[in-house]
Structure 1
């Protein structure tokens, strides 16, 4: 989707979603030079965001408690393996493997998160350990090919307002 279409959609809906923000950032990061139309669209978006005509939807208004429980277990199990050998394991891959096999436990409040943690520790502890162990075994079975993988969220400019402001300042200095 183009910057112009994203801006038009945001103006129509009154919201800039995280997916829209990410796409604008991706376009800005991968394009060597934006067109005048793209700069004008970004200027419209910046104005709409600043005057409240468009609201940026927060990235996360909820958490998946299962993520923190699985990550803690994965770190514990990986630390034990790495302490005994020379192999470095990918905690993220192991946690993702387990999370794909476990039920999500979403919460929108601290009280809800506390409840989900207690519930998971009482009812799902063995299942969490089992799936983390399976992810660990799978990770150990893979050959180490030495290739680099590009992790998610590598971008350093996450704030769309900062990106747009920077682009507009750059454009202004060129004219």
Structure 2
């Protein structure tokens, strides 16, 4: 969709969705130069946003708490294996395999995320561990059909670890690993 059509749609509907906003941004970033019509449309949109004729729909922030729980479990198990053997495992493959076999636990508030974490630890921890173990076993037993394959958006193991770390920081800023007694390590 073009900028002009997006602006026309926003003016007609009275709102700008996050998808429309993202598409305008993508077009602007990709174009070396915008046309006069595109500049005029953007000017019209800016005016409509300033007057309230068009409103930006709020983005609903949400997380899948299951992702952070699976990642934490996978990272711990993979670290144990890699520390005691010559095996190199892909945390992303293991997490994806396990997540595809576990229920999602979405939350839109910190309170909801805490509730989902507590519920998962009480009701699903054994299932999470089982699925991660199964994912590791699957990973260890699979032949390397395509050794040249490259993980999405990465080119090195360090980048994967960095991405996992960034995901955990973004989705679980208050997450603290539990020590052996089950109490927080604060």
Q: TM-score, normalised by structure 1?
A: 0.68
Identify the residue that residue 3 of structure 2 maps to in structure 1: 3
User: Compared with structure 1, are the counterparts of its residues 32 and 111 closer, same or farther at alpha carbon in structure 2 (3 Å cutoff)?
Assistant: same
> How many residues matched?
150
1:145 matches 2:148:
yes
Whole-Å Cα distance in 1 between the matches of residues 133 and 12 of structure 2? 48
Q: What do residues 116-170 of structure 1 show as CA deviations (whole Å, max 9, x unaligned)?
A: 111111111122223333444455534431647436xxxxxxxxxxxxxxxxxxx
Provide the rounded CA distance (Å) in 1 between the counterparts of 2:93 and 2:53: 41
Matched position secondary structure for 1:22: helix
* d(CA) in 1 for partners of 2:92, 2:11: 37
In structure 2, distance between residues paired with 1:65 and 1:133:
19
2:94 pairs with 1:94: yes
CA RMSD across the alignment:
2.7
Query: Which ranges of structure 2 fall in alignment gaps of 5 or more residues?
Result: 155-186
Cα separation, 2, equivalents of 1:97 and 1:25:
33
Q: Which runs of 4+ in 1 moved over 6 A?
A: none
Task: Write the distance in 1 (CA, Å) between the matches of 2:52 and 2:103.
Answer: 38
Report the CA distance between 1:33 and its aligned residue.
2.4
1:45 aligns with 2:45: yes
Question: Residues of 1 paired with 2:96 and 2:58: CA distance?
Answer: 24
List gaps (5 residues or longer) in structure 1.
152-175
